[in-house]
C-alpha cells in the first residue's frame, strides 16, 4: 500500500488484500488484532455484494453499547460510504465473527436522530471517530447488528 495515498483511496484489490491479512490475524489469535488496531474491538463482517452477489469480508471496529453491537461506516472520513454500507443497505442479512464466536445478524441502520445520540459514545470509546466526522459533510452511518 502506498504511504501517501489514504487507505480509502486505495484500489479495491489493495483494500481486499489488507482485509484478508487482518482476517488471518484475527482467526490466528482468537479474535485479537495488533498493529494499528491493537486495543480496538474488531469483528469480521461477512455480507453479500449488492451487485455481484458475492460474499464480502470486512474487518471492522465494533462498539458494544448497552448490550447492543454497532458498526460505523466512517471509511476514514471519506466523502463516500464504504462499500459494505451499500451492501448492507441492499441486503441487511450478514454474518459476524467476534472473538471465537460467530453468528448471523440482521443489520439495522440507525435513523439520523438515533445516530446523532449514539455517535458521542462512539467517539468517547475511540476518539479518532471525531476526526473522521470532521473530515466529511456526510453523516457517518451507524448500524446495529441484531442476532438473526
SS3 call for 63: strand
C-alpha to C-alpha distance for 31 and 75, rounded to whole angstroms: 21
Which CATH number do you get for residue 101? 2.30.110.10
Are 104 and 147 contacting, i.e. CB atoms less than 8 angstroms apart?
yes
- What is the per-residue pLDDT for 69? 98
**Is residue 1 in a domain?**
no
C-alpha to C-alpha distance for 145 and 139, rounded to whole angstroms: 19
**Is residue 27 in a domain?**
yes
pTM above 0.75, yes or no: yes
Provide the number of structural domains found in the chain: 1
Give the domain range for residue 110. Answer: 7-147
CA angle 38/42/44 to nearest 5° reads 140
Q: Using alpha carbons, select from 72, 53, 64 the residue that is nearest to residue 129.
A: 72
**Is residue 142 in a domain?**
yes
Q: pLDDT at residue 3 above 60? A: no
26-42 pLDDT, tens digit per residue, is 989 999 898 888 888 99
**Is residue 82 in a domain?**
yes
**Is residue 67 in a domain?**
yes
**Is residue 31 in a domain?**
yes
116-137 pLDDT, tens digit per residue, is 999 999 999 999 999 999 999 9
CA angle 11/69/143 to nearest 5° reads 55
Amino acid at each position: 500500500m502506498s504511504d501517501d495515498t489514504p487507505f480509502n483511496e486505495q484500489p479495491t484489490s489493495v483494500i481486499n488484500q489488507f482485509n484478508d491479512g487482518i482476517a488471518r490475524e484475527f482467526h490466528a489469535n482468537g479474535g485479537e488484532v495488533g498493529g494499528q488496531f491493537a486495543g480496538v474491538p474488531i469483528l469480521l463482517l461477512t455480507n453479500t455484494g449488492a451487485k455481484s452477489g458475492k460474499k464480502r469480508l470486512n474487518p471492522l471496529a465494533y462498539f458494544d453499547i448497552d448490550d447492543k453491537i454497532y458498526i460505523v461506516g466512517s471509511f476514514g472520513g471519506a466523502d463516500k460510504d464504504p462499500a459494505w454500507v451499500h451492501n448492507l443497505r441492499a441486503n441487511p442479512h450478514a454474518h459476524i465473527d467476534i472473538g471465537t464466536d460467530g453468528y448471523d445478524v440482521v443489520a439495522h441502520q440507525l435513523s439520523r436522530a438515533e445516530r446523532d445520540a449514539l455517535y458521542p459514545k462512539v467517539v468517547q470509546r475511540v476518539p479518532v471517530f471525531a476526526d473522521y466526522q470532521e473530515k466529511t459533510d456526510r453523516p457517518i452511518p451507524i448500524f446495529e447488528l441484531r442476532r438473526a
